[in-house]
Structure 1
Amino acid sequence: MSQSKGVLQGFKEFLMRGNVIELAVAVVVGAAFTNIVNSVVKGVINPIVGALGSQNLDNYQSCLTTTCSKDPKTGAFVDGIYILWGSVLSAALTFLITAAVVYFLMILPMNKWKERQEAKKPVDDGPAAPTEIELLTEIRDALIAQRNGSLAVPSSALGTIGIQKTQE
Protein backbone atom coordinates (compact mmCIF):
# COMPACT_ATOMS: atom_id res chain seq x y z
CA MET A 1 0.00 0.00 0.00
CA SER A 2 2.88 2.37 0.78
CA GLN A 3 4.28 1.67 -2.69
CA SER A 4 1.04 2.89 -4.34
CA LYS A 5 0.96 5.99 -2.14
CA GLY A 6 4.52 6.76 -3.17
CA VAL A 7 3.69 6.32 -6.84
CA LEU A 8 0.51 8.39 -6.56
CA GLN A 9 2.35 11.10 -4.63
CA GLY A 10 5.10 11.14 -7.26
CA PHE A 11 2.51 11.36 -10.04
CA LYS A 12 0.76 14.24 -8.25
CA GLU A 13 4.06 16.10 -7.86
CA PHE A 14 4.81 15.51 -11.54
CA LEU A 15 1.44 16.94 -12.58
CA MET A 16 1.74 19.94 -10.28
CA ARG A 17 5.10 21.02 -11.63
CA GLY A 18 4.95 24.26 -13.56
CA ASN A 19 6.51 22.72 -16.65
CA VAL A 20 3.70 20.20 -17.17
CA ILE A 21 1.02 22.86 -16.83
CA GLU A 22 2.89 25.21 -19.16
CA LEU A 23 3.29 22.38 -21.68
CA ALA A 24 -0.46 21.65 -21.57
CA VAL A 25 -1.23 25.32 -22.17
CA ALA A 26 1.26 25.39 -25.05
CA VAL A 27 -0.42 22.38 -26.68
CA VAL A 28 -3.86 24.01 -26.44
CA VAL A 29 -2.60 27.32 -27.80
CA GLY A 30 -0.68 25.51 -30.54
CA ALA A 31 -3.82 23.65 -31.60
CA ALA A 32 -5.73 26.94 -31.79
CA PHE A 33 -2.96 28.52 -33.87
CA THR A 34 -2.93 25.52 -36.16
CA ASN A 35 -6.62 26.00 -36.95
CA ILE A 36 -6.07 29.70 -37.65
CA VAL A 37 -3.05 29.03 -39.82
CA ASN A 38 -4.82 26.27 -41.75
CA SER A 39 -7.63 28.71 -42.49
CA VAL A 40 -5.14 31.35 -43.67
CA VAL A 41 -3.39 28.84 -45.92
CA LYS A 42 -6.66 27.57 -47.42
CA GLY A 43 -8.29 31.00 -47.70
CA VAL A 44 -5.38 33.25 -48.65
CA ILE A 45 -2.22 31.36 -49.62
CA ASN A 46 -3.86 28.68 -51.76
CA PRO A 47 -5.79 31.21 -53.89
CA ILE A 48 -2.60 33.21 -54.43
CA VAL A 49 -0.78 30.06 -55.50
CA GLY A 50 -3.93 29.11 -57.40
CA ALA A 51 -3.48 32.14 -59.61
CA LEU A 52 -0.75 30.05 -61.25
CA GLY A 53 -2.96 26.96 -61.54
CA SER A 54 -5.27 25.02 -59.26
CA GLN A 55 -6.42 26.61 -55.97
CA ASN A 56 -6.11 23.27 -54.22
CA LEU A 57 -2.43 22.58 -53.66
CA ASP A 58 -3.21 18.87 -53.38
CA ASN A 59 -3.79 18.90 -57.16
CA TYR A 60 -0.12 19.64 -57.82
CA GLN A 61 1.59 16.35 -58.52
CA SER A 62 4.13 14.71 -60.77
CA CYS A 63 4.21 11.25 -62.27
CA LEU A 64 7.41 9.23 -62.05
CA THR A 65 6.37 6.55 -64.51
CA THR A 66 5.44 6.90 -68.17
CA THR A 67 1.77 6.10 -67.59
CA CYS A 68 -0.23 7.54 -64.74
CA SER A 69 -4.00 7.46 -64.53
CA LYS A 70 -6.80 8.09 -62.07
CA ASP A 71 -10.22 6.57 -61.73
CA PRO A 72 -12.58 9.29 -63.06
CA LYS A 73 -15.34 8.43 -60.56
CA THR A 74 -13.32 8.31 -57.32
CA GLY A 75 -10.22 10.26 -58.25
CA ALA A 76 -8.04 7.49 -56.80
CA PHE A 77 -4.74 6.63 -58.45
CA VAL A 78 -5.11 3.53 -60.62
CA ASP A 79 -1.58 3.02 -61.88
CA GLY A 80 1.70 4.85 -61.95
CA ILE A 81 3.80 6.43 -59.23
CA TYR A 82 2.76 9.93 -58.16
CA ILE A 83 4.70 12.47 -56.15
CA LEU A 84 2.17 14.70 -54.43
CA TRP A 85 4.43 17.71 -54.04
CA GLY A 86 1.48 20.10 -53.71
CA SER A 87 0.43 18.66 -50.36
CA VAL A 88 4.05 18.83 -49.18
CA LEU A 89 4.18 22.48 -50.25
CA SER A 90 0.92 23.16 -48.40
CA ALA A 91 2.24 21.50 -45.22
CA ALA A 92 5.52 23.44 -45.47
CA LEU A 93 3.65 26.73 -45.88
CA THR A 94 1.45 25.88 -42.91
CA PHE A 95 4.50 25.09 -40.81
CA LEU A 96 6.32 28.30 -41.81
CA ILE A 97 3.30 30.47 -41.09
CA THR A 98 2.73 28.74 -37.73
CA ALA A 99 6.38 29.18 -36.79
CA ALA A 100 6.31 32.85 -37.81
CA VAL A 101 3.13 33.52 -35.81
CA VAL A 102 4.54 31.80 -32.72
CA TYR A 103 7.88 33.60 -33.04
CA PHE A 104 6.57 37.11 -33.71
CA LEU A 105 3.56 37.00 -31.38
CA MET A 106 5.00 34.96 -28.50
CA ILE A 107 8.75 34.39 -28.49
CA LEU A 108 9.92 37.85 -29.57
CA PRO A 109 7.72 39.77 -27.09
CA MET A 110 8.69 37.36 -24.29
CA ASN A 111 12.41 37.85 -25.03
CA LYS A 112 11.97 41.65 -25.04
CA TRP A 113 10.10 41.45 -21.73
CA LYS A 114 12.87 39.29 -20.20
CA GLU A 115 15.52 41.78 -21.40
CA ARG A 116 13.62 44.64 -19.75
CA GLN A 117 13.33 42.65 -16.51
CA GLU A 118 17.06 41.90 -16.54
CA ALA A 119 17.83 45.59 -17.15
CA LYS A 120 15.72 46.56 -14.12
CA LYS A 121 17.67 44.27 -11.78
CA PRO A 122 20.31 46.01 -9.68
CA VAL A 123 23.90 45.38 -10.64
CA ASP A 124 25.92 43.54 -7.99
CA ASP A 125 29.04 45.64 -7.38
CA GLY A 126 30.38 43.40 -4.60
CA PRO A 127 33.78 41.77 -4.81
CA ALA A 128 34.01 38.81 -7.07
CA ALA A 129 34.04 35.45 -5.38
CA PRO A 130 37.43 33.75 -5.36
CA THR A 131 37.97 31.20 -8.05
CA GLU A 132 38.42 27.54 -7.30
CA ILE A 133 42.13 27.76 -8.15
CA GLU A 134 42.64 30.68 -5.75
CA LEU A 135 40.90 28.81 -2.92
CA LEU A 136 42.91 25.66 -3.54
CA THR A 137 46.14 27.67 -3.60
CA GLU A 138 45.26 29.23 -0.23
CA ILE A 139 44.44 25.84 1.27
CA ARG A 140 47.73 24.42 0.00
CA ASP A 141 49.71 27.34 1.44
CA ALA A 142 47.88 27.08 4.77
CA LEU A 143 48.57 23.34 5.02
CA ILE A 144 52.26 23.84 4.19
CA ALA A 145 52.53 26.58 6.78
CA GLN A 146 50.78 24.46 9.39
CA ARG A 147 53.12 21.53 8.69
CA ASN A 148 56.18 23.77 8.98
CA GLY A 149 54.89 25.30 12.21
CA SER A 150 55.15 28.86 11.01
CA LEU A 151 52.58 31.58 10.63
CA ALA A 152 50.48 31.03 7.58
CA VAL A 153 50.39 33.79 5.04
CA PRO A 154 48.08 33.05 2.13
CA SER A 155 49.62 33.50 -1.27
CA SER A 156 46.60 35.34 -2.62
CA ALA A 157 45.47 38.77 -1.59
CA LEU A 158 42.11 37.46 -0.42
CA GLY A 159 43.35 35.93 2.82
CA THR A 160 40.20 33.92 3.43
CA ILE A 161 41.82 30.62 4.43
CA GLY A 162 44.97 31.74 6.26
CA ILE A 163 45.67 29.91 9.52
CA GLN A 164 47.46 31.89 12.16
CA LYS A 165 49.34 30.11 14.87
CA THR A 166 49.74 31.99 18.10
CA GLN A 167 53.13 32.08 19.78
CA GLU A 168 53.09 30.85 23.39
Structure 2
Amino acid sequence: MLKVQEIRELIKLVDQSSIDEFVYENEGSKIKMKKNSEATVTTVQPVVQTAPAPVMPAAIQAPVTSVAPAVEVIQEAPDVTATAEVTANLHKITSPMVGTFYASPTPDADVYVKAGSKVSKDSIVCIVEAMKLFNEIEAEVNGEVVEVLVKNGQLVEYGQPLFLVKPE
Protein backbone atom coordinates (compact mmCIF):
# COMPACT_ATOMS: atom_id res chain seq x y z
CA MET A 1 0.00 0.00 0.00
CA LEU A 2 1.19 3.48 -0.77
CA LYS A 3 2.12 5.81 2.07
CA VAL A 4 0.28 9.08 2.61
CA GLN A 5 3.27 11.11 1.39
CA GLU A 6 3.47 9.03 -1.82
CA ILE A 7 -0.27 9.58 -2.44
CA ARG A 8 0.20 13.33 -1.95
CA GLU A 9 3.06 13.31 -4.46
CA LEU A 10 0.89 11.40 -6.95
CA ILE A 11 -1.90 13.96 -6.53
CA LYS A 12 0.55 16.79 -7.24
CA LEU A 13 1.95 14.99 -10.30
CA VAL A 14 -1.53 14.28 -11.69
CA ASP A 15 -2.58 17.88 -10.99
CA GLN A 16 0.48 19.29 -12.79
CA SER A 17 0.24 16.91 -15.73
CA SER A 18 -2.04 16.93 -18.75
CA ILE A 19 -3.74 13.66 -17.81
CA ASP A 20 -7.39 13.74 -16.74
CA GLU A 21 -7.67 10.36 -15.04
CA PHE A 22 -5.27 8.16 -13.06
CA VAL A 23 -5.87 4.64 -11.69
CA TYR A 24 -3.44 2.66 -9.49
CA GLU A 25 -4.12 -0.89 -8.34
CA ASN A 26 -1.82 -2.96 -6.09
CA GLU A 27 -2.45 -5.89 -3.74
CA GLY A 28 -6.21 -5.39 -3.60
CA SER A 29 -5.99 -1.61 -3.09
CA LYS A 30 -7.17 0.82 -5.75
CA ILE A 31 -6.58 4.55 -6.09
CA LYS A 32 -8.50 6.46 -8.74
CA MET A 33 -8.02 10.18 -9.44
CA LYS A 34 -9.91 12.31 -11.96
CA LYS A 35 -9.44 15.92 -12.94
CA ASN A 36 -12.27 18.08 -14.21
CA SER A 37 -11.54 18.87 -17.82
CA GLU A 38 -13.48 20.32 -20.72
CA ALA A 39 -11.26 18.75 -23.39
CA THR A 40 -12.81 16.07 -25.57
CA VAL A 41 -10.99 12.85 -26.23
CA THR A 42 -10.66 12.01 -29.90
CA THR A 43 -7.75 9.55 -30.04
CA VAL A 44 -5.90 7.43 -27.53
CA GLN A 45 -2.71 5.63 -28.55
CA PRO A 46 -0.80 3.71 -25.86
CA VAL A 47 3.00 3.75 -25.72
CA VAL A 48 4.53 1.04 -23.49
CA GLN A 49 7.61 1.83 -21.36
CA THR A 50 9.30 -0.14 -18.59
CA ALA A 51 9.43 1.81 -15.33
CA PRO A 52 12.41 0.86 -13.08
CA ALA A 53 11.28 2.57 -9.87
CA PRO A 54 8.99 0.51 -7.60
CA VAL A 55 7.08 3.65 -6.60
CA MET A 56 5.84 4.15 -10.17
CA PRO A 57 2.14 3.42 -10.70
CA ALA A 58 1.06 0.24 -12.44
CA ALA A 59 -0.61 2.11 -15.30
CA ILE A 60 -1.14 5.68 -16.40
CA GLN A 61 -3.45 6.44 -19.26
CA ALA A 62 -3.78 10.02 -20.42
CA PRO A 63 -6.65 10.93 -22.73
CA VAL A 64 -5.83 14.02 -24.77
CA THR A 65 -7.12 16.06 -27.66
CA SER A 66 -6.44 15.11 -31.27
CA VAL A 67 -3.15 17.04 -31.22
CA ALA A 68 -1.18 14.66 -28.93
CA PRO A 69 -1.49 10.91 -28.26
CA ALA A 70 -2.03 9.52 -24.78
CA VAL A 71 0.79 7.82 -22.89
CA GLU A 72 0.46 4.56 -21.02
CA VAL A 73 3.27 3.52 -18.68
CA ILE A 74 3.22 -0.07 -17.54
CA GLN A 75 5.51 -1.33 -14.83
CA GLU A 76 6.43 -4.93 -15.28
CA ALA A 77 5.51 -6.77 -12.12
CA PRO A 78 8.25 -8.77 -10.40
CA ASP A 79 7.88 -12.53 -10.24
CA VAL A 80 5.10 -12.60 -7.64
CA THR A 81 5.32 -16.34 -6.94
CA ALA A 82 9.06 -16.23 -6.23
CA THR A 83 8.68 -13.15 -4.03
CA ALA A 84 5.72 -14.67 -2.21
CA GLU A 85 7.62 -17.89 -1.50
CA VAL A 86 10.62 -16.01 -0.09
CA THR A 87 8.56 -13.65 2.08
CA ALA A 88 6.17 -16.41 3.20
CA ASN A 89 8.99 -17.96 5.27
CA LEU A 90 9.92 -14.61 6.85
CA HIS A 91 8.43 -13.04 9.97
CA LYS A 92 7.42 -9.39 9.67
CA ILE A 93 8.02 -7.19 12.69
CA THR A 94 5.34 -4.52 12.38
CA SER A 95 4.80 -1.17 14.01
CA PRO A 96 2.30 -1.37 16.88
CA MET A 97 1.44 2.32 16.48
CA VAL A 98 1.72 5.42 14.34
CA GLY A 99 4.94 7.29 15.08
CA THR A 100 8.54 7.97 14.13
CA PHE A 101 10.96 5.05 13.62
CA TYR A 102 14.37 5.24 15.29
CA ALA A 103 16.98 2.56 14.61
CA SER A 104 19.14 3.49 17.63
CA PRO A 105 18.57 4.69 21.22
CA THR A 106 20.35 8.02 20.56
CA PRO A 107 21.44 9.77 17.36
CA ASP A 108 25.14 9.03 17.98
CA ALA A 109 24.67 5.40 19.12
CA ASP A 110 24.92 2.28 16.95
CA VAL A 111 21.70 0.86 15.51
CA TYR A 112 19.92 -1.84 17.49
CA VAL A 113 19.92 -4.28 14.55
CA LYS A 114 20.82 -4.35 10.87
CA ALA A 115 20.54 -6.94 8.10
CA GLY A 116 22.36 -10.06 9.28
CA SER A 117 21.88 -9.39 13.01
CA LYS A 118 20.76 -12.28 15.21
CA VAL A 119 17.75 -11.51 17.43
CA SER A 120 15.82 -13.28 20.18
CA LYS A 121 12.17 -12.82 21.15
CA ASP A 122 12.98 -10.14 23.72
CA SER A 123 15.65 -8.29 21.68
CA ILE A 124 14.91 -4.61 21.14
CA VAL A 125 15.06 -3.91 17.41
CA CYS A 126 14.02 -0.23 17.29
CA ILE A 127 12.10 2.58 18.94
CA VAL A 128 8.83 4.06 17.71
CA GLU A 129 8.22 7.52 19.15
CA ALA A 130 4.61 8.60 19.49
CA MET A 131 3.48 11.75 21.33
CA LYS A 132 6.91 12.21 22.97
CA LEU A 133 6.86 8.62 24.30
CA PHE A 134 9.66 6.35 23.11
CA ASN A 135 8.35 2.79 22.74
CA GLU A 136 10.89 -0.02 22.46
CA ILE A 137 9.86 -2.62 19.88
CA GLU A 138 10.90 -6.23 20.47
CA ALA A 139 11.69 -8.84 17.82
CA GLU A 140 8.87 -11.24 18.84
CA VAL A 141 10.80 -14.16 17.31
CA ASN A 142 14.24 -15.80 17.42
CA GLY A 143 16.09 -15.50 14.13
CA GLU A 144 18.17 -13.36 11.80
CA VAL A 145 17.19 -9.93 10.46
CA VAL A 146 17.02 -10.24 6.67
CA GLU A 147 15.97 -6.69 5.79
CA VAL A 148 15.26 -3.35 7.45
CA LEU A 149 12.23 -1.95 5.61
CA VAL A 150 12.21 1.64 6.93
CA LYS A 151 14.76 4.42 7.33
CA ASN A 152 15.82 6.12 10.54
CA GLY A 153 13.51 9.05 11.32
CA GLN A 154 10.80 7.85 8.93
CA LEU A 155 7.14 8.15 9.91
CA VAL A 156 5.50 4.73 10.22
CA GLU A 157 1.86 3.66 10.26
CA TYR A 158 0.11 1.16 12.51
CA GLY A 159 0.79 -2.36 11.21
CA GLN A 160 3.49 -1.22 8.76
CA PRO A 161 6.26 -3.83 8.40
CA LEU A 162 9.56 -2.59 9.86
CA PHE A 163 11.81 -5.65 9.59
CA LEU A 164 11.86 -9.04 7.87
CA VAL A 165 13.27 -11.80 10.10
CA LYS A 166 14.19 -15.35 9.10
CA PRO A 167 12.98 -17.44 12.08
CA GLU A 168 15.23 -20.15 13.53
Q: Same-fold call, TM > 0.5? A: no
| Greater RCO, CA 8 A, separation 6+ | 2
In the superposition, the TM-score normalised over structure 2's length comes to: 0.22
In the superposition, the TM-score normalised over structure 1's length comes to: 0.22
Larger radius of gyration: 1
Instruction: Determine which structure has the larger helix proportion and give its number.
Output: 1
Instruction: Determine which structure has the larger strand proportion and give its number.
Output: 2
